[in-house]
Structure 1
């Protein structure tokens, strides 16, 4: 069973092709880390899967249904949620207002496992900040709010673009624990990440992108054992 399957996906901007036939899949409760050097198309893939970039061709199957090219709001109601790079929280809103707005946006057919109370139980620091404006939160708290906002849409697939960006190591470990909990709840994760520790901790599969294509896709233990290939593809030891 596959929660998300991407088949021969092509997309880009204006007349420029960025994604050149991407293939990948993630099962329910599975987690795939998408690695690659800067500029190879990782963020474009996430934006295309969320409907923010229109695909030229190819398929995006969500629980077997082709959703390629749907508007972002329709994709959110179908079960796809995005935690964008840089968090992009709504700075003037309080934490409580942000959560209430996200919950109202959930599709009627989405499961209600993630209520505001359930999210606050998972992220208790946010409960202490309910009356605070989102723009006044620390970087780690803003990242938690971005994840909470995504969860309240009731996703079956969660896309995360560089969730460790700018966070201290202790907070990255907190994010890892949170994502592992989401996997246990059956949420499928596609994680774009530069922090290999986070990727290895959370994900059971690793895919490497180069020039708009997936050029390497193996289990996490196999990737870690093959240091020559990792160095060749990523330039890391």
Structure 2
């Protein structure tokens, strides 16, 4: 397994959110993480990205123990984050975002390759991020992550606040990333996007992984969807 999470615990202050999470992801695998609000999905992503220190457990990346590493060190090891809410820098241009993020000269994901994935960004390369639409900012957040030449991409709610046509563009980009061999962990509330983007689905309940199965199997298991997510389809 490329990413291995063992009995991971984390929280905020005295409050514990993750209660011994176990999760494996093979190299080139794509997993969608589902769950109701407040079950710990964003906390898990933040912990894996180094933004929140774990209080217990281990995280292994390609066999190396990276538990508790700082974000910059994890980024150099190949972990990229596309955060919830995009968090782009309004006063920097699209090109400046890429210049700051690029590692190794952008050998795997050079700027022009990202622009092929998101042609609109190429057209807006000299614009400030604050001048971009919400959809363009999300494309920029994904492109910025790719510019680090990552091995693992952690994505938190990439469809949040986007128009359906933009969500379709994001879905196309996720498929292209998986086809390019990236390992992807996706947190997503949009079931159409979530089930379209990954080969497997995991569902969190109260800070633990309560269910995991292939996406095709989950699509057909309406009772489990209803029980774990409160939806009928």
TM-score band, normalised by shorter chain: over 0.9
1:149 aligns with 2:144: yes
8 Å contact kept, 1:3–1:156 = no
Q: Equivalent residue for 1:115?
A: 110
d(CA) in 1 for partners of 2:38 and 2:194?
Answer: 19
Q: How does 1:43-192 map to 2 (within 5 A)?
A: 43-103=42-102, 106=103, 112-192=107-187
Classify the secondary structure of the residue corresponding to 1:217.
strand
Classify the secondary structure of the residue corresponding to 1:121.
helix
1:111 Cα deviation after fit = 7.5
With over 3 angstroms needed to count, the CA separation of the structure-2 counterparts of 1:146 and 1:111, relative to structure 1, is: closer
1:5 Cα deviation after fit = 1.3
Higher alpha-carbon deviation: 71-80 or 10-19: 10-19
d(CA) in 1 for partners of 2:189 and 2:198?
Answer: 13
d(CA) in 2 for partners of 1:194 and 1:169?
Answer: 14
8 Å contact kept, 2:106–2:148 = no
d(CA) in 2 for partners of 1:101 and 1:156?
Answer: 18
1:25 aligns with 2:20: no
1:112 Cα deviation after fit = 2.0
Mark the runs of 5 or more structure 1 residues left unpaired by the alignment: none
Q: Equivalent residue for 1:212?
A: 207
1:4 aligns with 2:3: yes
Q: Which runs of 4+ in 1 moved over 4 A?
A: none
TM-score for both structures, normalised by structure 2: 0.97
Q: Equivalent residue for 1:193?
A: 188
d(CA) in 1 for partners of 2:4 and 2:106?
Answer: 21
8 Å contact kept, 1:51–1:72 = yes
Classify the secondary structure of the residue corresponding to 1:73.
helix
TM-score for both structures, normalised by structure 1: 0.95
How many residues align? The count is 232
